[in-house]
Amino acid sequence: MSASPVSLQPLPLPGAELFFAPNFLPAAEATALLTALTATVAWEQRAIRLFGQKFPQPRLTAWYGDPEARYTYSGLAWEPRPWLPALAELRASVEAATAARYNSVLLNLYRDGRDSMGWHADDEPELGPTPAIASLSLGAMRRFRLRPRAGLLHAPFGIDLPTGSLLLMRGPTQQHWQHALPKTARPVGPRLNLTFRWVSPAAPN
């Protein structure tokens, strides 16, 4: 993997610690990874319960990690699948670039502009209060949005995440900000996101 070391640039936002590397992976490597992961990851479309009804999530997902990295969000429990070699290699380079440890990765595949991720913060107890979450983008440009949580007066913030880019959220970011990956009416190719996380039992915050 030729990605590291790279320097992550800080993105100033009050109450957050955000860092960004637009060219974490070379374009050709990002394209090859998108093709390989789309074909080899065990994608699922899981259902979430809303207002007493079940709805399919508007994206495909998968969870890989160390055996202890069990995770629950939106009422869905995840048992980690064993690391694919490509994911293990990426974890090592993301750890080196972000100076943090990760024992799992959540993959989200937004197949077209109708797929999305709603507003939320990654504030589940098993992530700890100040989690480092490293988000690698592959495929079509991904518009990533942040908005302040109650108590923080600030305008919403948006950033375009190109293929091969790496965004790190850490420190108190999840306490003060929510994030989302909205639908788009623009014709758009697949957008793939990998978020590397550390899930308890022993969260290294």
Q: Would you tell me which residues interact with ligand AKG (CB under 6 A)?
A: 106, 108, 117, 122, 135, 144, 179, 181, 193, 195
Between 181 and 203, CB nearer to ligand AKG? 181
In whole angstroms, give the CA distance from residue 145 to residue 135: 13
**Whole-number Cα distances in Å, 201 to 33, 38, 108, 198:** 30, 30, 24, 9
Q: Which two tokens stand for residue 171?
A: 């420190």
Between 3 and 181, CB nearer to ligand AKG? 181
SS3 189: coil
- Supply the minimum distance, in Å, between the C-beta of residue 55 and ligand AKG: 17
Between 2 and 47, CB nearer to ligand AKG? 47
DSSP 79: P
- Supply the minimum distance, in Å, between the C-beta of residue 116 and ligand AKG: 9
Between 33 and 52, CB nearer to ligand AKG? 33
- Supply the minimum distance, in Å, between the C-beta of residue 137 and ligand AKG: 7
- Supply the minimum distance, in Å, between the C-beta of residue 196 and ligand AKG: 10
